[in-house]
Amino acid sequence: MNKEKIRLILWLAIPAMIENMLQTVVGLVDTLFVAELGLEQVAAVGVSNTILAVYIAIFMAMGTGASALIAKSVGAGDWERAKAIARQSTWISVRLGLLFGIITMFFAEPLLRIMGAEPDVLADGVIYFRIVAVPSVLIALMTVFGSILRAVGDTKAPMRVGIRINFINIVLDYVFIFGLWGIPGWGIAGAAWATVVARLIGAILLYLHIRKTKLSFSLWKGTSSAYTMPLLQISTPAAVERLIMRFGQVLYFGLIVRIGTDVYAAHVIAGNIEIISYMPGYGLAVAATTLVGQHLGANRQKDAYRYGLLTTGIAVVFMSFVGILLFIFSPLAATWFTDQKDVVGMVTTALRIDAFAQPFLAVGLVIAGALQGAGDTKSPMYSTAIGMWLIRVVGVYVLSIVFDFGIAGVWLSIAIDLIIRAFYLFYRYQKKVGSFKE
């Protein structure tokens, strides 16, 4: 029986892992292309994407609410309700996308100034930010359509669409930035337009995939406000959680800068390497959200509980293995980014501390997904607020600044946060879903 469950979990999780990995690779390729234009352009894209990450956090929160409610409806066999929720979540996302687009149109320059964009970066930043963020509705649609498909257990369609649009994005990046066959490129504006065209194609393809499923719904055939409040009740804590995380990162990154530029550089490099370890956890969290939500909807609480635990166990195995790789190969990985021995040493220290935290990171990611599938987005929000603002910020200040532990203090704070978060979320899972297992 467990073998069948494991196959189902991996069938859902592996495409989501691949999709996340592709997004990471394409982000790297984007940066390499833009880097050919100059450091100012790289900075312009970076500061624009920092603001865009806040927009995306809101859209992802709406996707979380839609996914949880649709999965429960599908589990209960109520496809009409699932369709109504999918339609309503789409229209809420459209309105949010239009709102952020209007904000970007009129306030692009002030927002970039607030983020610290220097005058030599600001001009390019405004061009890039307006092009990619005014049509924020495309990001909103891609996010919610992907969540709708995953809620019915289809993680392969978003992966296939991701492969196509990422390939399109890379090709258009080159053509639009540098030009082709004597036609001049558009520079940083070309990078932005390549992203917009790829997102437009992605939104269309994802909707066409939805139309092929039992969840097929018309965008124009009436919406029901009856599902607006349930969607917002689940999505709002998820949005707050992501905003807490983003703003908390800004604060504790500022503390790391105070320690020293070399420490901050080492922290950024370690973070770029560590992000690979998140891929199994993110993929398995998607599987947990879907399976827990569907089985609770079908009134099969024991199975919902077991799927959450089994998915967490698989994540712990995957990410413990990643932790071993991080511990062994961190010195080598650090040399891909820098040849300064002191920075390589700090990156190695950071990643070896992080290696021991990988099993707890696995628990935190997947149990948070399972709780969201059960409709509990408040517990992950509380854990992020306490972990980011109390444990990480205070930990970095005390360990790295007061006791002068340097990079070790930063990553010890992160590890403590991940350990406490894992225990808290597991306790909440036992209370929320585990109470049904008897």
Tell which residue, 153, 151, 434, has the closest CA to residue 308. Answer: 434
The token duo for 84 is 């109504």
Domain range holding 303?
234-438
What pLDDT does residue 435 have? Answer: 64
Question: What element of type H or E holds 180?
Answer: strand 179-180
First to last CA, the chain: 19
The token duo for 386 is 């306490």
CB 81 within 8 A of CB 146: no
User: Tens of pLDDT along 75-101?
Assistant: 888 888 888 888 888 988 999 999 999
- Of the three residues 223, 256, 288, the one that is the final residue of a domain is 223
Instruction: Show Cβ contacts of residue 311 under 8 Å, excluding neighbours closer than 6 positions.
Output: 9, 13, 284, 287, 288, 291, 366, 369, 370
434 pLDDT more than 80? no
Handedness of CA 83, 86, 92, 98 (dihedral sign): negative
Q: Is residue 132 part of a domain?
A: yes
Same domain, 215 and 245: no
Label residue 217 left, alpha or beta by phi (over 0 means left) and psi (-120 to 50 means alpha).
Answer: beta
The token duo for 172 is 């258009």
CB 281 within 8 A of CB 311: no
437 pLDDT more than 60? no
What pLDDT does residue 141 have? Answer: 93
User: Tens of pLDDT along 115-144?
Assistant: 666 777 788 888 888 998 999 999 999 989
User: Tens of pLDDT along 348-357?
Assistant: 898 999 999 9
The token duo for 320 is 């413990």
User: Tens of pLDDT along 238-297?
Assistant: 888 888 887 777 777 777 777 777 777 777 778 777 877 788 888 888 888 888 888 888
State the CB neighbour count (10 A cutoff) for residue 136: 25
What is the C-alpha separation between 290 and 147, in angstroms, rounded?
10
What pLDDT does residue 223 have? Answer: 60
Q: Is residue 229 part of a domain?
A: no
434 or 216: which leads in pLDDT: 216
Strands 179-180 and 183-184: antiparallel
365 pLDDT more than 70? yes
Rounded average pLDDT over 317-332: 90
- Of the three residues 190, 223, 256, the one that is the final residue of a domain is 223
Q: Among 35-49, 164-178, 194-208, whose mean pLDDT is lowest?
A: 35-49
R_g of the chain, CA atoms, integer Å = 22
Rounded average pLDDT over 359-367: 93
What is the C-alpha separation between 358 and 397, in angstroms, rounded?
23
∠260-266-272 over CA atoms, to 5°? 140
Tell which residue, 195, 163, 189, 190, has the closest CA to residue 176. Answer: 190
N residues, the chain: 438
Same domain, 53 and 139: yes
Tell which residue, 378, 311, 380, 292, has the closest CA to residue 71. Answer: 292
Residues paired with 183 in a beta bridge? 180
- Of the three residues 176, 194, 223, the one that is the final residue of a domain is 223
Q: Is residue 111 part of a domain?
A: yes
Same domain, 163 and 241: no
Same domain, 206 and 275: no
Same domain, 38 and 174: yes
Same domain, 349 and 305: yes
25 or 149: which leads in pLDDT: 149
CB 252 within 8 A of CB 337: no
Phi, psi of 183 (to 5 degrees): -85, 125
Same domain, 104 and 132: yes
Q: Is residue 179 part of a domain?
A: yes
Rounded average pLDDT over 14-33: 72
What is the C-alpha separation between 297 and 75, in angstroms, rounded?
4
197 pLDDT more than 60? yes
Tell which residue, 334, 225, 321, has the closest CA to residue 279. Answer: 321
State the CB neighbour count (10 A cutoff) for residue 65: 28
1 pLDDT more than 60? no
Give the pLDDT band of residue 21 (cuts 50, 70, 90).
Answer: confident
DSSP string spanning 196-216? HHHHHHHHHHHHHHHHTSTT-
Q: Is residue 228 part of a domain?
A: no
Rounded average pLDDT over 363-380: 88
What is the C-alpha separation between 89 and 69, in angstroms, rounded?
10
Rounded average pLDDT over 34-41: 71
Cα 368 versus chain centre, distance: 13
Q: Is residue 369 part of a domain?
A: yes
Same domain, 206 and 263: no
Give the pLDDT band of residue 343 (cuts 50, 70, 90).
Answer: confident
222 pLDDT more than 70? no
Same domain, 2 and 63: yes
Same domain, 323 and 202: no
CB 102 within 8 A of CB 85: no
- Tell me if residue 183 falls in helix, strand or coil: strand
- Tell me the CA distances in angstroms from 75 to 72, 152, 234, 304, one per residue in order: 5, 9, 18, 11
State the CB neighbour count (10 A cutoff) for residue 237: 22
What is the C-alpha separation between 271 and 166, in angstroms, rounded?
23
What is the C-alpha separation between 269 and 214, in angstroms, rounded?
45
What pLDDT does residue 419 have? Answer: 94
Element counts in the chain: helices (H) and strands (E)? 14, 2
Number of structural domains found in the chain: 2
Label residue 397 left, alpha or beta by phi (over 0 means left) and psi (-120 to 50 means alpha).
Answer: alpha
Same domain, 92 and 238: no
